[in-house]
Amino acid sequence: MIEYALWLIAGTVYGTVIGVIPIAGATIGLLAVFGMIDHFLLNPYLGVVFMTSFLGAVSSSDSYTSILTGIPGGGSTAASIIDGHPLAKQGQAGRAVGAALLDSTVNGLFWGTVAFGLLPFYGKLIMYFGIPEFAALMLVSVICVGFITVKNPWLSIISISLGLFLGLIGQDPGTGAHRFTFGWEYLAAGIQVVPIIAGLFAIPEIVSCLLEKNSRPAPINNYWKQLFSGFKDVVRYRKDAARGGIIGFVTGVIPGIGGSVGDMIAYGSTVAIHKDEKFGQGNVKGLIGCEGANNAQKPASLIPTIVFGIPAAPFAVIFLAVCTTLGLDLGTIQLVNDSKFIYSVTAGFILSTIVSFFLCIFITKLVVKILSIPNWIYAIMISIIVFWSSFQYTGTLNDLYILLICGVIGISCKYSGLSRPAVLLCYIIAEKFENYTQQAFTLYSLDEIITRPIVQVLLVIAVLLIFTNIKKFIKDKQ
Amino acid sequence: MKKFLTALALTFSISASAEYIMIVPQQPGNGTSVWSQIVARHLEKQLGEPVVVRHIPGAKDIPGFNKFHNDLRFNDNIIMVSHGGNGIGYLVDDVDYDYKYYDSVGMMNLNIVVGKKQGVDFQSGTKAKIAGSSGRETDGMAIAMLLCGNLSTIQEYLDCWNDRVVWVNGLKGSERRLAFMRGEFNVARESVVSWNKYYTDNSDADAEIWFHHGVYDLNTKQQKEDPNFPPGLRFETVFEKTWGEKPTGPLYEAYTLSRNFRDVLQKALWVNKGNPNLEKLRSALTDMITDPEAAAALERETGEYEWIVGDDGNQVVDKIRKNINEQKLKDMVWWHENAYGYPSVFKSNLLN
């Protein structure tokens, strides 16, 4: 029990620190888990507690950076900048921090309970999904990720294709024959998830971090009074807070939509509801409307990850990979019915959300000092995490070569407008999609597959997604 | 230069304080990796020196073992951990490693259980649907013989296999179990511990044991009953009950070759021949086996199976290597390619 508590505290503290560091965020922070995986091998539930407590904490503390410096703490807090940073510049940083913290905590606690407490119920769904249903679900996920995260269908197709190609490197699942390895034996086991995530997300952000000028954090005056004023704002504008949470939860469940997209939708809906008010100049409702979305999105994204093994967000890809490495097979009835796993996930997220709330209240002044540290120091810290985590796979230079290649791909994606979440999620889904499709056609005839009701529903969704996105693109062009 | 830097990086990463390093050719979390962690923890106590586990994963778990063969075995502190899949790879894949260059520290012959849906009668013509993958080829051979009886040529077995079996690749353990529970497969295959965990007393699984492969008897040099199961479920016994005669023929010969390399070498520890630490390691392993805490931990992971320690291990390897002959090996390679579609190579250098 003490061991669980220690890892929970470690995850919470680590999550709070990573949340504060500009550009770090949940995805990059979780990469470090690969560097400590040996500690969890004999008791994988400790790893689950560490990861979920990290996620609970990082979702709360990442508001600081957005509010105080105008730089997103993670991709999912970009919307908080729009009204949060002007509030801070107007001398109301304490109020903005208070509103963000309480909003984040309440939404995190509520949606965390909904998501994890009902996992055994969602688990019953698995028994309705045979191999053809899983194949169709993978198809919908690929389309969802590719066509919703990028508006231009050509960029979508390129992002999907690139992700699928990266995911198919390695061995043919049917025969074990090598493919797309270009004679490099190291690639026969496929590209590992750590260099892909580090290359797509961390390296481009490290480059940006080095290129951008430091932004001085806004000063905090009259902190405690302002903090409680922010708390009162959340109570007063509770409908905005609740709406943000609902939007975050719904968008979090859908692969590729969570994070900054869910945050922005929540912010947009707040603006739309309060038509007569000005936003973008320090309206606390704007901050409250979007801040909780991020905290609701994290547990929501873990639902399809745990129930079906389909990660709905980049951070969930790492969660999936770590669990697989630890012998916890997500997407199986055994795991969804494993009470120890459910308790670990729930306790990690819920308790860390509470602990993080109090921790953040007392470290705000320290955070201002942390945010004054030059960007290049953050770049070095994140580089160490990235290189160390990547090096854990084989411990050879091959790990570093593939990291550099993935970094080049990530930087190219960032500056060409390709969707990095789409590339990542398609990379993850590629192998499963191929496997399930091959298996479905080995076990069943085409007639048997397309007459299954769930397959039919999923195929209709897939066609509608493609059709509506192309139609929207044509309309936007006109 | 590249090789040097790679070795340097590996050496650096496995920590300067580590006295012994167990190389596992898999990613952390897989069966052999977990087994290695348990052995390392308890072996360390007996040796009084640190033992760390280092993973060198790669396709079909071959690169790690190749790296041991080509570089690492010359370091006296390196212990290689291999599993049954490496034994199959030795016979049919293009690999560098070769057991004749190593001394056995110790090995465990573990058994594999093949089950089926309760009440399914394959003799009535029902097709066997099973999830296949590397390491399960031996089970496929046994299933082919149980469904088809004794046939004279390997081609006849293949025709029967294509008619009677659906072999589906690419499923992970958990996916296979789920598909079996949903009824998409009617044959399941597991280690003994996994069988007990997922199928025994699980009414949702609706499974019964069809057969198991038995374990190697050090005295008779033959397969014998597994004490973990009631008698009468060993493959040969079930075959005789089904067909009224003992299994014979080309596929059975290939099966015995495959079974020996997979099951007898299911979990094994190796060092390079002439390693000065060999006797110290064997002695520590012998002490570890008699330590009740270590024995209980291993039993939870593998079931109740005996260790083969010391020179006995080398003799077992010599024995099963001598059992390789040209026809058996050719049939095994041919079966892998044609029944499962796995690229395989015939290696004449394995013949005695």
| Residue B330 is assigned to a structural domain of this protein | no
Do B59 and B134 sit in the same domain of this protein? no
Torsion-angle region of residue B24: left (phi > 0), alpha (psi -120 to 50) or beta? beta
Around A212, how many Cα atoms within 13 Å sit in the side-chain half-sphere? Answer: 18
CATH, residue B127: 3.40.190
Do B228 and B305 sit in the same domain of this protein? no
Do B105 and B136 sit in the same domain of this protein? no
Which of A188-202, A203-217, B112-126 shows the highest mean pLDDT? Answer: B112-126
Task: Report the residue count for chain A.
Answer: 478
* Positive/negative CA dihedral, A366, A368, A373, A376: positive
CA distance readout (Å), B302 to A300, B44, B228:
37, 20, 11
Do B134 and B149 sit in the same domain of this protein? yes
pLDDT greater than 70 at residue A74: no
Q: Three-state SS for B106?
A: strand
CA distance readout (Å), A70 to A20, A79, A197, A291, B192:
12, 10, 25, 14, 58
| Residue B234 is assigned to a structural domain of this protein | yes
Q: Three-state SS for A332?
A: coil
Choosing among B24, B26, B55, B336, which should be mutated to test the A contact, i.e. which has the most A CBs within 10 A? B55
| Neighboring chain A residues of B178 at a CB cutoff of 8 Å | 126, 332-333
> Mean pLDDT in chain B?
89
Q: What is the pLDDT of residue A151?
A: 67
Q: Summarize pLDDT for B54-104 with one digit per residue, the tens.
A: 888 888 899 899 999 999 999 999 999 999 999 999 999 999 999 999 999
CA distance readout (Å), A422 to A408, A474, B84, B124:
17, 21, 38, 49
Count of Cβ atoms closer than 10 Å to residue B124 Cβ: 6
Q: Are A123 and A333 in contact (CB under 8 A)?
A: yes
| Residue B133 is assigned to a structural domain of this protein | yes
Q: Long-range pairs for B143-148 at CB < 8 Å and ≥24 separation?
A: B143/B114, B143/B187, B144/B251, B144/B339, B145/B239, B145/B247, B145/B249, B145/B251, B145/B252, B145/B255, B146/B122, B146/B210, B146/B211, B146/B235, B146/B238, B146/B239, B146/B242, B147/B122
Q: Are B18 and A38 in contact (CB under 8 A)?
A: no
Q: Three-state SS for B88?
A: helix
pTM: 0.77
> Mean pLDDT in chain A?
84
Q: What tokens does A281 get?
A: 């100049």
| Type of residue numbered B150 | N
Instruction: Please state, for a pLDDT cut of 90, what percent of chain A lies above it.
Output: 28
Question: Which of B2, B59, B134 lies nearest to residue A189, judging by beta carbons?
Answer: B59
* Positive/negative CA dihedral, A310, A314, A315, A320: positive
B18 reaches A (C-beta below 8 A)? no
- Greater pLDDT, A254 or A118: A118
Q: What is the pLDDT of residue A428?
A: 80
Q: Is B311 exposed, middle or buried (0-12, 13-18, 19+ CB in 10 A)?
A: exposed
Q: What tokens does A368 get?
A: 């201002």
Q: How far apart are CA A119 and CA A178, in angstroms?
A: 38
Do B127 and B224 sit in the same domain of this protein? yes
C-alpha R_g of chain A:
22
Q: How far apart are CA B144 and CA B166, in angstroms?
A: 11
- Residues paired with residue B128 on neighbouring β-strands, in sequence order: B165
Do B235 and B346 sit in the same domain of this protein? yes
| Neighboring chain B residues of A398 at a CB cutoff of 8 Å | 6
Choosing among B10, B23, B37, B174, which should be mutated to test the A contact, i.e. which has the most A CBs within 10 A? B174
Do B59 and B17 sit in the same domain of this protein? yes
Q: How far apart are CA B33 and CA B19, in angstroms?
A: 19
Q: What is the pLDDT of residue A363?
A: 86
| Residue B326 is assigned to a structural domain of this protein | no
Which of A69-83, A259-273, B216-230 shows the highest mean pLDDT? Answer: B216-230
Interchain proximity B129–A327, CB inside 8 Å: no
| Neighboring chain B residues of A455 at a CB cutoff of 8 Å | none
Would you place residue B16 in the very low, low, confident or very high pLDDT band (cuts 50, 70, 90)?
Answer: very low
Would you place residue A165 in the very low, low, confident or very high pLDDT band (cuts 50, 70, 90)?
Answer: very high
Q: Summarize pLDDT for A93-125 with one digit per residue, the tens.
A: 889 999 999 999 999 999 999 998 888 787 777
| Neighboring chain B residues of A439 at a CB cutoff of 8 Å | 168-171
Interchain proximity B184–A334, CB inside 8 Å: no
Do B276 and B314 sit in the same domain of this protein? yes
- Greater pLDDT, A419 or A249: A249
Q: What is the pLDDT of residue A255?
A: 65
B296 reaches A (C-beta below 8 A)? no
Cα B310 versus chain centre, distance: 20
- For residue A105, the distance in angstroms to the closest alpha carbon of chain B comes to 34
* ipTM exceeding cut-off 0.90 for this assembly: no
Average pLDDT over residues A159-166: 91
| Residue B328 is assigned to a structural domain of this protein | no
Question: ∠ CA B256-B162-B265 to the nearest 5 degrees?
Answer: 25
Strand pairing class (B165-169; B187-191): unpaired
CA distance readout (Å), B75 to B64, B70, B83, B128:
15, 11, 21, 48
Q: How far apart are CA A282 and CA A84, in angstroms?
A: 6
A438 reaches B (C-beta below 8 A)? yes
pLDDT greater than 60 at residue A73: no
Q: How far apart are CA A42 and CA B34, in angstroms?
A: 7
Question: ∠ CA B218-B222-B228 to the nearest 5 degrees?
Answer: 75
| Residue B327 is assigned to a structural domain of this protein | no
Average pLDDT over residues A393-414: 88
Would you place residue A148 in the very low, low, confident or very high pLDDT band (cuts 50, 70, 90)?
Answer: low
B169 reaches A (C-beta below 8 A)? yes
Average pLDDT over residues B247-263: 95
Which of A230-239, A285-294, A318-327 shows the highest mean pLDDT? Answer: A230-239
B129 reaches A (C-beta below 8 A)? yes
Cα A61 versus chain centre, distance: 15
Q: Summarize pLDDT for A342-356 with one digit per residue, the tens.
A: 999 999 999 999 999
User: Domain count of chain B?
Assistant: 2
pLDDT greater than 60 at residue B205: yes
Q: Are A331 and A310 in contact (CB under 8 A)?
A: yes
Instruction: Please state, for a pLDDT cut of 90, what percent of chain B lies above it.
Output: 65
| Residue B311 is assigned to a structural domain of this protein | yes
Q: Summarize pLDDT for B282-327 with one digit per residue, the tens.
A: 999 999 999 999 888 888 888 889 899 989 999 999 999 998 999 9
Q: What is the DSSP-derived secondary structure letter of residue A24?
A: -
Q: Three-state SS for B315?
A: helix
Do B179 and B229 sit in the same domain of this protein? yes
Q: How far apart are CA B188 and CA A455, in angstroms?
A: 26
Do B341 and B198 sit in the same domain of this protein? yes
HEC string for B112-134? EEEEEECCCCHHHCCCEEEEECC
Do B271 and B208 sit in the same domain of this protein? no
Domain of residue B238 covers 112-261+335-351
Q: What is the DSSP-derived secondary structure letter of residue B98?
A: -
How many helices and strands, by DSSP H and E, does chain B display? 14, 13
Q: Are A191 and B59 in contact (CB under 8 A)?
A: no
Q: Are B160 and B122 in contact (CB under 8 A)?
A: no
Residues 6+ apart with CB under 8 A from A161: none
- For residue B40, the distance in angstroms to the closest alpha carbon of chain A comes to 12
B252 reaches A (C-beta below 8 A)? no
Average pLDDT over residues B154-176: 91
Q: Are B79 and B169 in contact (CB under 8 A)?
A: no
Do B67 and B200 sit in the same domain of this protein? no
CATH, residue B86: 3.40.190.150
Residues 6+ apart with CB under 8 A from A50: A7, A8, A10, A11, A33, A40, A348
Question: Which of B33, B166, B182 lies nearest to residue A130, judging by beta carbons?
Answer: B182
| Residue B329 is assigned to a structural domain of this protein | no
Interchain proximity A37–B179, CB inside 8 Å: no
pLDDT greater than 60 at residue A329: yes
Question: Which of B33, B37, B169 lies nearest to residue A174, judging by beta carbons?
Answer: B169
